[in-house]
Amino acid sequence: WRCGNLVAASLKPILAAVRKRHLGAGYGNPCDAAAVREAKAGFRRAGLLLRAQTQPNRIPLPSAIFRHRLTTVVLQFWWMRRAGDITGLCVADVQLPADGRTCYQVPDHKTVPRDGLIARTLPPAHDGAYDVPRQLLARLLADLRSAGASAGTRLFTSCAARAASGNVTGWLRDGLVRLGVTAPVGTIYSSHSLKKGGATAANAAGVPRDAIAELANTTERTLAETYISTLVVPSWYDRYFFGRLLPA
């Protein structure tokens, strides 16, 4: 124990084996004796003295890190993409013209190489002062450029695509926990479902199906069968994100 080969938690399986062997032979449980309980408590106290921190220390995320994660999740929903479609994008793939448009390149399909990018454009919000999705993206680009990022610097993550997709799901769930939001019974929130969420919200806002299909890079039939839930009750948030696609 003093060499660090055992910790307090190591006692549990050791004593469990002792208990099981004694009970199996018809004896009482020797591990329930007062002397053993006292020894276990002392073992834990001594362990704390040698290892002051026994659990990972949870600290608040720096605001820049949390904003980066929030930007990733919001843009994935806003652009109606899977996590794997956006985690490989670079600084050069996004342009923010002065007229309020958001221009970006995304993969034509999840199985194509990076050179198979297609251009998409979202018009300015009707009330540009509150265009939070675009403002988050602009802040992210500003942070990257101020840090000396090149045109080829990844926007959202620097790890492999599969790990990056998993990271986005973790960021989404962490954000929901911070907001006190839980998924309805029988459902889960995952980064993969944000493409469906974005398409459903745009549909609820009254955006024509052909416009949704173009942004999501899929057919109207696939939208109806897979990505749009008609049971969703329209809300103010749907128009907040996608009202820009409706006539002013």
The domains of the chain are located at: 12-50, 64-192
Question: What is residue 119's predicted lDDT score, i.e. its pLDDT?
Answer: 92
Q: What does each C-alpha distance from 90 to 107, 118, 140, 189 come to in angstroms?
A: 12, 14, 12, 26
Burial class (CB in 10 A: 0-12, 13-18, 19+), 209: middle
Mean pLDDT of 90-114: 84
Question: What is residue 105's predicted lDDT score, i.e. its pLDDT?
Answer: 92
Q: What tokens appear for 147 in the block?
A: 């840090």
Residue 49 pLDDT > 80, yes or no? Answer: no
**Average pLDDT over all residues of the chain:** 84
Mean pLDDT of 222-239: 88
Mean pLDDT of 23-50: 80
First to last CA, the chain: 72
What's the pLDDT band for 63 if we cut at 50, 70, 90?
confident
